[in-house]
Amino acid sequence: MKRDIETEEDVKLLVDTFYAHVNEDGLLAPVFNNVAKVNWQHHLPVMYNFWSSLLFGSMAYKGQPFPKHTRLPIKQEHFGRWVILFTQTIEELFEGTKAEEAKHKAKSIARIFQMRMGLLSLLDQEPGMQ
C-alpha cells in the first residue's frame, strides 16, 4: 500500500520524479529544455517550495509563476499533458488525501493558467468546475 504525501521529502520525491518524466516526454521536454532553457538546479528547489506551500501551507514559495509561462509557445495540449504526467506521477508514488489534493491543485493551476492565457474559456471547463 502506498502512503500519502506527508513530508518535505515526499514533496521532493514527487517533484523530482515528475520532472524526470517531463524530461522524457516528447511534447514537454522541448519546451522546458530548448525554449525555456530551464536551469534544473535552480528550478527544482523552487518547485519543492511551491508544492510545499500549496500542500502544507509552508509559505516557502515566494514568487509569481504565471508571468514566466506567458512567453512560452504552449497550448492546451501542453497543459493537458502536464496534468496527465503530474497525476500519473502522484498515482505512481502516493495515495491519500494530500495526494488527491495535489492532483486537484494541479488541474486547477492548469485551468487558471489556460484561462489567463486565453486558451480556455469558462465554456471549455469540465462540468462542475466553474
CATH number at residue 28: 1.10.490.10
- Which of residues 38 and 72 earns the better pLDDT score? 38
- The pTM of this model reads 0.89
Helical axes 97-116 vs 40-56, angle rounded to 10°: 110
Residue 63 domain-assigned? no
Q: What's the total number of domains in the chain?
A: 1
- Specify binding-site residues for heme: 42
- Which of residues 129 and 68 earns the better pLDDT score? 68
C-alpha cell at 52: 510545499
DSSP state of 3: -
The parent domain of residue 45 ranges over 8-58+72-117
Residue 124 domain-assigned? no
- Specify binding-site residues: 42
Tell me if 52 sits within 8 A of 61, measured CB to CB: yes
pLDDT in tens, 53-78: 999 998 888 878 777 778 888 999 99
Angle (CA) 59-61-62 rounded to 5° is 105
Above 80 in pLDDT, residue 122? no
